[in-house]
Structure 1
Amino acid sequence: MRAAFASRFDDAAPLAALTVGERPEPVHPDDDWVTVEVRASSLNHHDLWSLRGVGLTEAQLPMILGCDAAGLDPDGNEVVVYPVVPTAGDPRGVSILSEHFPGTLAERVAVPRANLVPLPEGLSLTDAACLPTAWLTAWRMLTTKGRVEDADAVLVQGAGGGVATAAVALAVAMGKRVYATSRDAAKRDRIAGLGATAVEPGARLPERVDVVIETVGAATFDHSLKSAAPMARIVVSGATAGHQPTVNLRRVFAMQLEILGTSMGTPGELYDLLAFCADRQVRPVVDSVVPFSKVEEAFARLHGGEIFGKIVVDHTV
């Protein structure tokens, strides 16, 4: 079957480590695993890190890339693949597809049957392929960790990337007042188009917020602290611009702030996210849809860093 995979590692030029070619059919480690016919997948920065050798060893090569997918189960039902699988030997007890088990950038992928979530009516396979990693992370940050139902205002740092843009769209759909930062003027215009108030990084907000979605890290963390209302929740799922910020602990205890870490979500949370998107007619922000025959171009666009939303790979062409 055709697949996109890491054939080696190259930290300086990760695209040079990408190979598109034939790989063996999926193998089922246990009887409860099934094969999904992939119809659409989406790219994540995790895929670029894999090409750089982060989280993989030489012994695991070649490794099919990709965490997210939607397609058909063995009975022909449309499903979304939850990408976290039990993994013996991993210190976390689990791993994401493309770490220990082959990923979704292939014609077919093997996963536990319990990882299949039915596709709700009204959502396309292309839309659904965007949701399991970035959008699920944003959903968990807002709901389970951020307790956004008790919030009036939300700040999203670094909107434009997959998780942050998803958080903007979801929080707006929840009826919250949303502020979002971006260094890029063009991205700020697009963020405003989603219903948020777009501001430059570090800008003073007209009010303090109850929930901060923080995926940037050291470059924005002081602004996150200063923008937080008393008893606010600052939820962290990334550190793309530094992982060792200077934290004013006096502000943390005086304002009774909560700093919470998270990643991904549960199958139940993915089910809730899919239902929310279907019921509220929320659709993922899609940067572009690229046919699998041009998957190298999709990786190049992701690596270029100028994307807004998700890059989807259409496996049917």
Structure 2
Amino acid sequence: MRAAYASATKPDEPLAALTVGDQPEPSPPDGWVTVDIRASSLNHHEIWSLRGVGLPADRLPMILGCDASGVDAQGNEVVIYPVIEDPQDPRGFSLLSERWPGTLAERVAVPAKNLVPKPAGISFLDAACLPTAWLTAYHMLTARGRVSDAEAVLVQGAGGGVATAAAVLAVALGKRVYATSRDAGKRDRIAELGATAVEPGARLPERVGVVIESVGAPTFEHSLKCAAPGARVVVCGATGGPFPKVDLRRVFMMQLEILGSTMGTADELAALLDLCVAKDIRPIIDSTYGFSAISDAFARLNSGEVFGKVAIDHLH
């Protein structure tokens, strides 16, 4: 079957490690099922895998991809939850494409319990954009950030998949949302989605109850300064650097919570799908490519210019 996979790892030239070609058909163990993929989407996780981060040479070649929607053997339309229980991993889990083949293929094998029904009102392409970035944002807001107890939210670095999703979801949940971006064009686009777009480091008109933080060192001081007493600063990444300066006096005097967050649960993915239907939310798609142009899709993702998700239509 055709697939996009890491045939090598190249820390300084990740796209050179990407190969599109034939790979073996899935061979599901007991309790696993095979899904015919209709659509998928890319995450920066794929770029990191091509660099060799979390993907050692002894697991190559590895089919890439965490996110997908498709049809199971019974004809059910499903969304794939990409988190696999993994006692060999210190996290207790791994994602598809880390130890088991991923979703950028014609078919993929996953545990049967990892299939979430796709609502009829959501397209395969839209559904394929939700399992990683949008689920991460949903989990950050609800389970970790307890956004129901907040009136206002700050999202750092809008434009990327998680940050854009967090802004859209927080607006849909009725919160006042402030979102930062260095790019004026991205600030214009995030404002169109209902958030108040501001430049990085700008003073806000109020302190917020939840901060969504995926940038790290360049924005973390600003995140702390914008946090109201008792606020939650929820961290899912550090794309700008993992070692920010933290004024611990502000943390204890304001009784702030700094919370790590990774992915979410299968039940949360189902709840996210229901929320998208109920609120008529659809993921922000930067661009869509046919599978035959998947190399171009990776180049787009790696450009750093995306706003939202890069989606893959497997039927073209």
TM-score normalised by structure 1 residue count: 0.99
What is the Cα deviation at residue 91 of structure 1? 2.2
Residue 8 of structure 1 pairs with residue 37 of structure 2 = no
- For residues 263-297 of structure 1, give each alpha carbon's deviation from its aligned partner in whole angstroms, at most 9, with x where no partner exists: 00000111110100011100000001100000000
Q: Supply the distance in 1 between the matched residues of 2:38 and 2:119 (Cα, whole angstroms).
A: 16
Q: Supply the distance in 1 between the matched residues of 2:18 and 2:271 (Cα, whole angstroms).
A: 34
1:56 counterpart SS class: coil
Contact 1:38–1:315, Cα closer than 8 Å, also in 2: yes
Contact 1:209–1:227, Cα closer than 8 Å, also in 2: yes
1:64-83 mapped onto 2 (5 Å cutoff)? 64-83=63-82
Paired position in structure 2 for 1:42: 41
Q: Supply the distance in 1 between the matched residues of 2:141 and 2:314 (Cα, whole angstroms).
A: 31
Amino acid at match of 1:203: A
How many percent identity over aligned positions? Answer: 69
Amino acid at match of 2:13: A
Residue 302 of structure 1 pairs with residue 301 of structure 2 = yes
Paired position in structure 2 for 1:271: 270
More off after superposition, 179-188 vs 115-124: 115-124
Paired position in structure 2 for 1:23: 23
Contact 1:157–1:180, Cα closer than 8 Å, also in 2: yes
1:197-236 mapped onto 2 (5 Å cutoff)? 197-236=196-235
Q: Which runs of 5+ in 2 are unaligned?
A: none
Paired position in structure 2 for 1:313: 312
Contact 1:121–1:278, Cα closer than 8 Å, also in 2: no
Amino acid at match of 2:130: L
Contact 1:14–1:51, Cα closer than 8 Å, also in 2: yes
What is the Cα deviation at residue 57 of structure 1? 1.1
- For residues 42-77 of structure 1, give each alpha carbon's deviation from its aligned partner in whole angstroms, at most 9, with x where no partner exists: 000000000000101111000000000000011011
What is the Cα deviation at residue 121 of structure 1? 2.5
Q: Supply the distance in 2 between the matched residues of 1:221 and 1:90 (Cα, whole angstroms).
A: 29
Amino acid at match of 1:305: G
1:239 counterpart SS class: coil
1:1-317 mapped onto 2 (5 Å cutoff)? 1-28=1-28, 30-317=29-316
Q: Supply the distance in 2 between the matched residues of 1:93 and 1:155 (Cα, whole angstroms).
A: 30
Q: Supply the distance in 1 between the matched residues of 2:105 and 2:86 (Cα, whole angstroms).
A: 21
What is the Cα deviation at residue 12 of structure 1? 1.0
What is the Cα deviation at residue 23 of structure 1? 0.3
Q: Which runs of 5+ in 1 are unaligned?
A: none
What is the Cα deviation at residue 93 of structure 1? 2.4
What is the Cα deviation at residue 92 of structure 1? 2.2
Task: Let me know the Cα RMSD of the aligned residues.
Answer: 0.6
Q: Supply the distance in 1 between the matched residues of 2:88 and 2:169 (Cα, whole angstroms).
A: 35
1:218 counterpart SS class: coil
Contact 1:157–1:220, Cα closer than 8 Å, also in 2: yes
2:218 counterpart SS class: helix
Q: Supply the distance in 2 between the matched residues of 1:92 and 1:200 (Cα, whole angstroms).
A: 35
What is the Cα deviation at residue 123 of structure 1? 0.8
Amino acid at match of 1:15: L
Contact 1:135–1:167, Cα closer than 8 Å, also in 2: yes
TM-score normalised by structure 2 residue count: 0.99
